[in-house]
Amino acid sequence: MFKTIANAFRDKEIRKRIFLTLLMLAIFRLGAYIPIPGLDIAAINGENGLDSGSFFGIIAAINGTFGSQGSIFSLGIMPFINSFIIMQLVTIIIPKLERMSKDGEEGRKKITQITRYVAIGLGVIQAFGFVMSWGENFTGLFGTGVANIWLSRIMTVIILTAGSTFVMWLGERITEYGIGNGTSLIIFIGILSGIGSSIISAIQTMSQQSGTELMGNIWWFIGFIIFVILLFLFIVYVDMAERRIPVRYAKQVKGNKMYGGQTSNIPMKVNASGVMPIIFASSFLMFPQMIASFWPESDFYIWYSKWLGVGSWVYIVVISLLILFFSYFYAQIQFNPIEVSKNIQQYGGFIPGIRPGKPTSEYLAKINNRITLFGAIFLAIIALIPSILVAIMPQELGLTNAFSATGLLIVVSVALETNKQMESQIMMKTYKGFLK
């Protein structure tokens, strides 16, 4: 990776793209420190602050705890991510959108535009949820009084939605003019900043302690760092693991030339769906809690937080089943064994020991189901790690609040993907120079 970065900086155009990407990410980070006018940050971090197990706590963790800082970028890129997920689902269900997705570049542009509009709508809903979750601690720009408070809330919803829309625009500019996927890089920076802030806060907490309590927390802190490093290595190992299905092509004589006779393979990644099943499952579970949080004293909100909140045994069972379901659902979207089998047969290929046609598609489907099951178990373990840490680690260190194994999975995936994109751009430059 370091060699790739060094080679990238040697090329003027790639170096320009890297600096542009860093500039956009710096603007994004700057927005994290611009507070919403009239918001008492100390109050919202108190008794009525964002719970790390709530829907808004998850948003804050992915965005780098911007929600708890009360910044104009509190929503971050989450509305766009949720909109993207919704559009992927409805594109399969609605035939008109499915035809549009297959209508080349023009169709994709239309779907992207619809995704933006849906993201703005979701931003308004989530912004309203944020404002209502702050409760009476929020006074706003226009002071006290029922009318003034509601006017302040509406203004804050507009500010938060505009901030989220601007972050979405930044992500698109990074994708178009920078290096890597802009949305992924914004999440990447947010997660890293959240983990960094958590570690600094833990060190500050330990600096104020002494005696047995200090030594105990130091050992917990060292164990936490070692655990994160081992988890990081495990995620990299699984993320890069793949099953390669060998494919041989028969020799064909056309005219005076002979074609085929080569051996290739079909790479099937163990974790091909990435972090999407976890995001699907978490959003599915947390969305009712987000709606119910508008009425925090209602019986439904109290019941849902108790039984389906992060850490409960019901939550563990339900989210594991949902991750398993969405893993298979996403696998069916990404990999079509019938289509792959037809393409292999069309070009005169075959899998050794498997007859072409239906037996090949059945064999590929069986292999895909087995790999998906292992990937789903891996994702379920990753999703449940924070709940386990909350149960065993001392809460005064605050490491469990910002740590997210899901976030670490996103960080690894984004880092590997960005590295691959830089390598491909360097390769293209090398070929261009060779042709000249």
Nearest-angstrom CA–CA distance, 21 and 386: 31
Per the CB < 8 A criterion, the answer to whether 347 and 249 are in contact is yes
Inter-residue contact 386 to 403 (CB < 8 Å)? yes
Q: Report whether 172 contacts 40 (CB < 8 A).
A: no
Q: What are phi and psi of 151, to 5 degrees?
A: -65, -40
Residue 390's pLDDT is: 67
Q: Tell me what pLDDT residue 166 has.
A: 93
- Can you tell me which residue has the tokens 């948003």? 59
Please tell me the predicted confidence (pLDDT) of residue 49.
44
Task: Show pLDDT as tens, one digit a residue, over the chain (436 residues).
Answer: 667 777 777 777 888 888 898 999 899 888 878 888 777 666 555 444 444 444 555 555 555 545 555 788 888 888 888 788 788 778 878 888 888 877 777 888 888 899 999 999 988 988 887 777 666 656 656 666 667 778 888 888 899 899 999 999 998 999 888 887 888 788 888 777 777 777 777 788 887 877 787 788 888 888 888 888 888 888 888 888 888 888 887 766 666 666 556 788 888 888 887 777 877 787 777 777 777 766 767 788 788 877 877 667 788 888 888 888 888 888 887 788 888 888 888 877 888 888 888 888 899 899 988 898 888 888 888 777 776 776 677 766 666 655 565 667 777 777 777 777 777 777 776 655 544 4
Burial of 429 (0-12, 13-18, 19+ CB in 10 A): middle
Q: How far apart are CA 397 and CA 212, in angstroms?
A: 15
Residues 6+ apart with CB under 8 A from 87: 97, 111, 114, 115, 118
Look up tokens 């090398």; give the residue: 430
Cα 198 from Cα 402, distance rounded (Å): 6
Cβ contact 173:181 at 8 Å = no
pTM across the whole model: 0.74
